[in-house]
Amino acid sequence: MENRDFARILSETADLMEIAGEDGFRIRSYRNGASILEGHTERVSDILRDPGRKVTDIPGIGKGLALVLTEIEARGSCDTRDKLLQRFSPAALEFLKIQGLGPKSIALLIERFELKSMDDLERVCREQKLRDLPRMGAKLEEKVLRSIEQYKQRTGRYLLSIADQTAEELIQHLSSLTGIDSITPAGSLRRGKETIGDLDLLVTGPNAVAALEAVATHPKVQEVLGRGANKTSVKFGREGLQVDVRALLHDSFGAAMQYFTGSKEHNVALRQRAVRMGFKLSEYGLFRISDEVRVAGATEEEIYEALGLQWIPPELRENLGEIELAEARALPRLVELSDIRGDLHMHTTATDGRATLEEMALAARAHGYDYIAITDHSKALAMAFGLDEKRVTDFAATVRKINETGDLGIHILSGLECDILQAGDMDIEWDALAELDLVIGSVHSHMNQEPAAMTDRLLRALECPHLTAFGHPTGRLLLHRDEFPFDFDRVIGAAVQRGVRMEINASPERLDLSANHARAAKAKGAKFIVSTDAHHPKSLANMKYGIATARRAGLAREDILNTLAPEQFLSELRTSKIS
């Protein structure tokens, strides 16, 4: 089992305990354990299987949780979770993904209507039975019905990180075979889409077909969906992600890579262009229609060139104007992961992070960064031990002393993720914010405001002269919570006018802004930061997901503040604070 599997089971158990109204301290213990394990750098499964080691050596894991983890390792679940699932049915975990329903309301609905499935919940809403219950009403029924529809659309989708980690695991597994030259992800993973339906792996080499058998017999395969001469399809891992592995010939690798990368819309437009030019394009190559001679296929570059186009980066292949730009040789030079010089959003043990400032700084230095901003939470997030005004000013002074010594080998910026309160006020007084190098303003509460009220809230926050960027600006959690509605164009316009950046939050659960919103914001002149919102050193590696989103939005290095070299970066920050 991977650490994320342990974390998922602990989180699900905590959710069920909350629905059951059990002790809050015990619930927090499970949630904290899930967070700790997800960020732990060593596989917990290896520790549990080593008789000479104790899982309680992991900070924050006590004897009680250690017993639960041993149980999970042995059979993939725990007694508490099993009993609660018997009491509420697995549908209870699904109900938690529906906007407007919290644990208490779910418990009431299950008790009152004996709900066993999402269809049961939908039926109760359509029969208008929610409005008769305490603290519920017609608006909630409408909201729940909308959320159920969105949930159904999301079913069968997986976070980009899940597909990426699965690809890495299978590539490592298949690379041990002899006669394998390359194993390359294609499909929506290669395009960097925020959620993935299935995973495509393309294998080349004289013994490429051996990869098909190796995947089918992998111990993590739930089910073999199909096996052919050149393709094997399986359901892989606890998540049940569908993986399609294809064995290819070298001379058609480029054509297959282009075809299986997609998107469907991009491929249709490209095939239509090929026909207009007298060619036929397929996964086997680019052929002249007149004599069926293949003119390209070994590489993607030669296919695009034969069609009179620049090679188009995979992230742009959505038929959103990229073919026209490629024809004009006007594609942007997209930002790359290597362009990032620092991470500007992360948390430490001062609030809800899992590592100290020093540990985060050293991990960032190992990533090759020149600077970082420590941005712990403000006091409104009491559960996260948020900073008040005194702690903010003390922190700023501490950072100045750290930078004077230079002992950490990386420049530290004093920052804060400051809550934007319900009316748009900043959670910390302006004179305390003035002591900081950088302020990220974020919405963490009252996300159900009407669009006009949320718009006014964000515009009010922009009046703060110390605001550097909006953090995860639309509040979404992928596959769980949709964006809160507001007048995006109006807020972006005001942010551009005041020099406030928009964050692309690289946490794979968020990827907020979305590529579509970032593309629209760029068109209005917005500038950006890309940051990880890391709560553990391990999460700094998530930067690649934020860069994938930035590339899908067509962003160049020049669009992103934290691609600047240290002196330019600090100068830009100082100029912003003065303006």
Q: Phi first, then psi: what are they for 173, rounded to 5°?
A: -65, -45
Give per-residue pLDDT as tens, 398-439. 999 999 999 999 999 999 999 999 999 999 999 999 999 999
Q: What is the pLDDT of residue 146?
A: 87
* Nearest-angstrom CA–CA distance, 109 and 85: 16
Q: Provide CATH code, domain 337-578.
A: 3.20.20.140
CA angle 446, 439, 556 (to 5 degrees): 100
The CATH topology of domain 158-248 is Beta Polymerase; domain 2 (3.30.460)
Q: What is the pLDDT of residue 537?
A: 94
* Nearest-angstrom CA–CA distance, 517 and 262: 21
- Contact, 443 vs 475, CB < 8 A? yes
Sign of the C-alpha dihedral, residues 165, 4, 353, 69? negative
Q: What is the pLDDT of residue 578?
A: 53
- Please name the amino acid found at residue 401: K
Q: What is the pLDDT of residue 271?
A: 97
Among 411, 418, 409, 426, smallest CA distance to 384 is for 418
Q: What is the dihedral of CA 53, 54, 59, 61, to 10 degrees?
A: 150
What is the number of other CB atoms lying within 10 angstroms of the CB of residue 26?
14
Residue 512 is given by DSSP the state: B
- Contact, 526 vs 496, CB < 8 A? yes
Helix (H, G, I), strand (E, B) or coil at 22: coil
- Contact, 553 vs 333, CB < 8 A? no
Q: Provide CATH code, domain 253-327.
A: 3.30.210.10
- The pairing of beta strand 371-377 with beta strand 342-343: parallel
pTM: 0.85
Copy the structure tokens of residue 564.
Answer: 């600047």
* Nearest-angstrom CA–CA distance, 244 and 228: 11
Q: What is the pLDDT of residue 556?
A: 98
For residue 239, with 0-12 CB atoms within 10 Å meaning exposed, 13-18 middle and 19 or more buried, which class applies? Answer: middle
- The pairing of beta strand 501-505 with beta strand 469-470: parallel
Q: Which CATH number fits domain 3-154: 1.10.3720.10, 3.40.225.10, 1.10.150.110, 1.20.1340.10?
A: 1.10.150.110
Q: Which residues of the chain have pLDDT under 70?
A: 576-579
Going from N- to C-terminal start, the domains of the chain cover 3-154, 158-248, 253-327, 337-578
Ramachandran category for residue 532: left, alpha or beta (phi over 0 → left; psi -120 to 50 → alpha) = alpha
Tell me the residue length of the chain.
Answer: 579
Helix axis angle, 515-523 to 488-498, nearest 10°:
60
Residue with tokens 């809230």: 457
- Contact, 298 vs 252, CB < 8 A? yes
